[in-house]
Structure 1
Amino acid sequence: MKVAVFTETYHPQVNGVVVFLSDILPLISKKAEVVLFAPGDAELNVEKVNRNFKIYWVPTYPFPFYEGYRMARIRSATIEKILREEKPNIIHLHAPVLMGLRALKVSRKLGIPVIATYHTHFPDYLPHLFKGLLPKPFTEIAKLPLKRLIKYVFSKATCTTAPTLELKKELESYGVKNVLHIPNGTLFEKFGKGNPARFMRRYGIPKDRPIVLYVGRVSFEKRLEVLLYAFKKIRKATLVIVGSGPSLKNYKRIAKELELNNIIFTGHVSTDVLSDAYSAADIFVSPSDSETFGLTFVEAMHFGLPVIGVDRLGAREIIRHGRNGFCVKAGDSDALVEAISTLIAYPSLRKRLGAQAKKDAEGYDIKRVAERFLQLYKKLCRETKP
């Protein structure tokens, strides 16, 4: 069996989709041939990763509304030519945009079944893309044609997968049919045990304060200003923000204006340093209200951390309020203060929630997710045989 995978984002970009694909595609390639189409540089290049894994690096151009993001530039005729040569049995689109739409069009012409995975909840990104320049009523109006476009695109796939039950229901409310719930997952084996002391020495973190950790892209849609404003009222902890992105300078500026001296920005780190960060932390928190899944919640839970997130989309499904962490209202820094302060004040509660979080993380092993997709590939191939 051969699978053609199309993604609008891949290395060297760092985000949840890239991490997910980096973990799952090598596993898929152990049982099927994988041909990946991913955004590259100026020219179309082919890279042979291993015997069963090939990458077509597609030419790109900068996306004007999101720094660091590049749009794939490839004609439908080129996609068709390559697919006729590769002869895949199935096509898997991840967060399809321009290249994904063209691949979808070609797949229908060639009679190849298509799975479309909904990674990015585009309606939530509208206010962030225009950086608050659009008044809220106009933003809500602009979401209507976007929802119709989502219905149009995903309804043309043979089936759609959503990483959470809430997103499955959301897509169905738009009129998308045949939506399956397959959660994302992570490859736990890539993490080491971690060395807390080494991490604290590296960044000069005092030993007498709990560490509150955020891991992820440092970009406007992650709403990190909510967390920074919360830390204006939290003095008995150190906030560590791990990651990089287009808003790093802006958030450093906000932290300086708020006179926060208990915050550390590490920038992008290696997997080994990330393991150290998770092992050193006491609490994990993300104020993002646009997470369709939230892989970093699962990673933190794997290290036995209680997690705090926003009460919607992916966070609401992963976090069991009062069981493995807390869910708070989106954009509410006071609610974040209360949740973080509670876990700081009660170490026994922190330990109990963290222990349950570690158990719950086991359900998000990427190996299980890979097997579910492989079974789905086989099922669709059987159903579409002439």
Structure 2
Amino acid sequence: MTVLIICNGYPSTLEPNIYIFIHRQALALKKAGYNVVILDIDLRSFRWKRKYGCYFEKYEGIEVYRISFPFVTTMFPRIYKFLNVQIGLKLFDKIIKKVGKIDLINAHFVKGAGQAAIAIKKKHNKLVVITEHSSKIMMDCNKLVEQFIPYYKAADKVIVVSEALKVKLERYGITCKTIANVIDTSIFKVIEHGDKNSSFTYLSVGNLIYRKRFDLTIRAFCKLHEKYKNTNLIIVGEGPLDSQLKLLAEKLKINSVTFIGGIDNNMMSELYNKCDCFVLPSDYETFGVVYAEAISCGIPAIAADNGGSKEIIDERNGLIVPRDDINALYKALEVMYESKSKYNKYKLHKIIENKFGEMRFVNQIEELYIELVSRVK
């Protein structure tokens, strides 16, 4: 079966971390014997540095057809839709000439990619699955969801990556199936380093934007560090709040917070393993891949009650605190410090492997794909 994945951003050698969760799904499908082709319509702004133009490449064994040029998506949504649809239709014709028959299209995110997929469906009568990841839906943006209802309903199937997201969309009469993001547990695994030093290190990873609440993490950690001097906080990520967060740490006069910027996702396993606890009190998450990656590497996680975190974290592998509650976050950091020996790292890994490993993902999505394709035969 040949599956065309349409997206609005896909990993490359210049940006190996961008939408890595889509790439992981593509790799899992390829390993399972599917012919996977990517159509990447990348209209992100100038802020994202990447190669511009229309070209083909193979990325880690996956065929990728790319078109990339800068556009301000938030300011001109109608033009953004128009560009995705027209580019999608034109490049689909070229892809068909190269690869032959496409059995099914799986678009990631309804905005842009999903709109292009539905246009292709109408013209070429192709099966379309839309996989929704958008955290904005978790923020109860009624107008956002309402404008995309026709596209969701035109799709042959809608997949969501968490039960929390499913609840949100089903309020609008959209029937969904939950298939969580895949975690490559062969990469995100326990690595033995021998005895760690006496310090206790917290790790926080994500885009440096407000809803990730790094400000809350820094303030709660500062309070903790006054009591436990052997604690450290490492922050991984890039984004518009970079300088603001560094200034906050400086104002709080704590020199145990380290910002290391963005690093290759393939290097994250080593970093997770060198730390003792993961913390990210985001206001909203549709899933929260980084929580699962951290736990798969054998460290417990702290999250806010943000929707997606409950899909991953329970009493066996971490703590969930109320949103925007610095005192609750401080107490959770302290509990983790005091109960380090409570968690068995290999059991933590197994929890993630059983729930979000490649085989589970492939079995779930293969069942859905086969059901759809069998309808038209």
1:305-364 alpha-carbon deviations (Å, 9 max, x no partner): 1111111311012111x3221101111111110011011123333x35x56533311221
Identify if the C-alpha distance between structure 1 residues 272 and 165 changes in structure 2 by more than 3 Å, giving closer, same or farther: closer
3-state SS of paired residue (1:87): coil
**1:329 corresponds to which of 309, 313, 322:** 322
Identify if the C-alpha distance between structure 1 residues 123 and 162 changes in structure 2 by more than 3 Å, giving closer, same or farther: closer
Q: Distance in 1 between matches of 2:220 and 2:330?
A: 5
**Contact 1:194 1:278 survives alignment (8 Å):** no
The AA in structure 2 aligned to 1:369 is F
Q: Distance in 2 between matches of 1:302 and 1:50?
A: 23
Residue 217 of structure 2 aligns with which residue? 227
Q: Describe how 1:44-59 pairs up with structure 2 within 5 A.
A: 44-49=54-59, 53-59=62-68
Query: What is the CA distance between 1:115 and its match in structure 2?
Result: 0.7
1:120-144 alpha-carbon deviations (Å, 9 max, x no partner): 122456xxxxxxxxxxxxxx7xx22
Query: What is the CA distance between 1:213 and its match in structure 2?
Result: 1.0
Query: What is the CA distance between 1:13 and its match in structure 2?
Result: 4.4
1:238-266 alpha-carbon deviations (Å, 9 max, x no partner): 11112323322221122112222111111
Residue 348 of structure 1 aligns with which residue? 341
The AA in structure 2 aligned to 1:116 is I
3-state SS of paired residue (1:29): helix
Q: Describe how 1:183-332 pairs up with structure 2 within 5 A.
A: 183-191=180-188, 193-194=190-191, 207-235=197-225, 236=228, 237-271=231-265, 273-320=267-314, 322-332=315-325
Count of aligned residue pairs for this structure pair: 352
**Contact 1:44 1:58 survives alignment (8 Å):** yes
Q: Distance in 1 between matches of 2:173 and 2:15?
A: 32
Q: Distance in 2 between matches of 1:78 and 1:301?
A: 43
Query: What is the CA distance between 1:273 and its match in structure 2?
Result: 4.1
Taking every aligned residue pair, what percent have the same amino acid on both sides? 25
State yes or no: 1:121 paired with 2:138. no
Query: What is the CA distance between 1:195 and its match in structure 2?
Result: 6.5
**Contact 1:151 1:171 survives alignment (8 Å):** no
Residue 133 of structure 1 aligns with which residue? none
Q: Which runs of 5+ in 1 are unaligned?
A: 126-139, 201-206
1:165-206 alpha-carbon deviations (Å, 9 max, x no partner): 2211211112112x11111121122247547589x9xxxxxx
Q: Distance in 2 between matches of 1:269 and 1:80?
A: 33
Residue 78 of structure 1 aligns with which residue? 90
Query: What is the CA distance between 1:108 and its match in structure 2?
Result: 2.3
Residue 154 of structure 1 aligns with which residue? 152
3-state SS of paired residue (2:271): helix
Query: What is the CA distance between 1:55 and its match in structure 2?
Result: 1.1
Residue 30 of structure 2 aligns with which residue? 29
Query: What is the CA distance between 1:375 and its match in structure 2?
Result: 2.9
State yes or no: 1:3 paired with 2:3. yes
**Contact 1:24 1:367 survives alignment (8 Å):** no
3-state SS of paired residue (2:272): helix
Q: Distance in 2 between matches of 1:99 and 1:348?
A: 45
Query: What is the CA distance between 1:84 and its match in structure 2?
Result: 4.7
Query: What is the CA distance between 1:154 and its match in structure 2?
Result: 1.4
**2:370 corresponds to which of 378, 381, 384:** 378
Q: Which runs of 5+ in 2 are unaligned?
A: 43-50
State the Cα RMSD in Å.
2.7
Q: Distance in 2 between matches of 1:301 and 1:186?
A: 11
State yes or no: 1:38 paired with 2:40. yes
Q: Describe how 1:4-19 pairs up with structure 2 within 5 A.
A: 4-11=4-11, 12-13=14-15, 18-19=19-20
Identify if the C-alpha distance between structure 1 residues 14 and 149 changes in structure 2 by more than 3 Å, giving closer, same or farther: farther
**Contact 1:3 1:32 survives alignment (8 Å):** yes
Identify if the C-alpha distance between structure 1 residues 146 and 278 changes in structure 2 by more than 3 Å, giving closer, same or farther: same
State yes or no: 1:63 paired with 2:72. yes
**Contact 1:8 1:100 survives alignment (8 Å):** no
Q: Distance in 2 between matches of 1:273 and 1:110?
A: 42
State yes or no: 1:358 paired with 2:349. yes
Residue 106 of structure 1 aligns with which residue? 120
Q: Distance in 1 between matches of 2:60 and 2:234?
A: 37
Q: Name whichever of 324-333 and 95-104 sits farther off.
A: 95-104
The AA in structure 1 aligned to 2:277 is I
3-state SS of paired residue (2:70): strand
**Contact 2:190 2:296 survives alignment (8 Å):** no
Q: Distance in 2 between matches of 1:50 and 1:336?
A: 39
Identify if the C-alpha distance between structure 1 residues 42 and 275 changes in structure 2 by more than 3 Å, giving closer, same or farther: closer
Identify if the C-alpha distance between structure 1 residues 272 and 292 changes in structure 2 by more than 3 Å, giving closer, same or farther: closer
Q: Distance in 2 between matches of 1:229 and 1:65?
A: 31
Identify if the C-alpha distance between structure 1 residues 246 and 87 changes in structure 2 by more than 3 Å, giving closer, same or farther: farther
Q: Distance in 1 between matches of 2:272 and 2:60?
A: 32
